[in-house]
């Protein structure tokens, strides 16, 4: 896809450093830098930014960094460094925002279900905060209710996926008809169809709860949020560009 730009190179290096640092520090790094549910005691404002550089495992970071390498430099060369960085981090923040919104929806729905089951607010909070010692009490709740309470409260969000989805969406706006290839499929697919199809799969997975792509804990709403921000920003910039060759 051409020469790697300095900005993408720096982002790659920071992600790799964070990954190896998290392997060394272990749980402490995730407690400090992953994005926790705002009701969780581990939540800190800076995590809205730092979670974009944290990854769960080797395959997670390899996939994200490969996508950043393949599409990021071309995108930056097209729109300039400042706009690329603005889009990248805006998409990451938009991804975090949408994922948190739907986490709150699931969490509050489960919380209300527990209230309707006869538990008080204090009892529910005690069950959540000390779930390891209250598993017998949790057994009185439907499994999906207790699962939604615990998974939303205790599962942090990590990864550059939201920001990268924003870059992918922006790439599809600039180069909609550029032919792309998927490994093992020797047929070129236009960027607007390949990236659009990938986005559609994520929407389906987010709405239905199915896992067509990725593990069961994939933050599909984050992917959607990042892609929507990236698409809107690039559509606006392209529509209002003053220089057809470079937007600085």
**Mind listing the pLDDT tens digit for each residue in 138-187?**
666 777 788 888 889 999 999 999 999 999 999 999 999 998 887 767 78
Q: Over 60: is that where the pLDDT of 105 sits?
A: yes
- Helix ranges, the chain (H): 6-25, 27-33, 47-50, 58-67, 73-79, 81-116, 121-129, 135-138, 143-154, 161-174, 191-208, 220-239
Residue range 203-214, pLDDT digits in tens: 998 888 777 666
Mean pLDDT score, 43-60: 95
pLDDT at 76: 95
β 185-190/179-182 pair status: antiparallel
Three-state DSSP at 47 gives helix
Contact 114, 149 (CB under 8 A): yes
Contact residues for 51 (Cβ-Cβ < 8 A; gap 6+): 33, 34, 35, 96, 156, 157, 158, 159
> What is the structure's pLDDT at 248?
45
pLDDT of 212 reads 66
Predicted model pTM:
0.88
């Amino acid at each position: 896809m051409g020469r790697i730009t300095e900005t993408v190179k720096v982002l790659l290096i920071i992600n790799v450093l964070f990954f190896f640092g998290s392997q060394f520090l272990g749980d402490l790094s995730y407690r400090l830098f992953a994005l926790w549910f705002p009701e969780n005691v581990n939540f800190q404002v800076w995590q809205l930014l730092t979670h974009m550089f944290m990854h769960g495992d080797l395959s997670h970071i390899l996939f994200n960094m490969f996508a950043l390498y393949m599409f990021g430099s071309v995108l930056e060369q097209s729109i300039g460094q400042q706009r690329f960085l603005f889009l990248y981090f805006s998409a990451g923040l938009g991804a975090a925002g949408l994922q948190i919104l739907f986490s709150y929806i699931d969490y509050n729905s489960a919380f209300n279900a527990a209230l309707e089951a006869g538990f008080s607010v204090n009892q529910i909070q005690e069950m959540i905060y000390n779930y390891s010692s209250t598993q017998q009490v949790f057994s009185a709740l439907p499994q999906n209710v207790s699962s939604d309470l615990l998974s939303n409260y205790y599962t942090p969000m990590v990864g550059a996926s939201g920001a990268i989805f924003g870059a992918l969406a922006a790439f599809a706006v600039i180069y909609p008809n550029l032919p792309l290839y998927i490994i093992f499929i020797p047929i070129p697919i236009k960027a607007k169809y390949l990236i659009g199809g990938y986005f559609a799969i994520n929407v389906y997975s987010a709405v239905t709860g199915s896992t067509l792509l990725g593990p069961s804990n994939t933050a599909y709403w984050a992917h959607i949020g990042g892609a929507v921000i990236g698409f809107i920003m690039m559509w606006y910039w392209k529509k209002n560009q003053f220089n057809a060759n470079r937007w600085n």
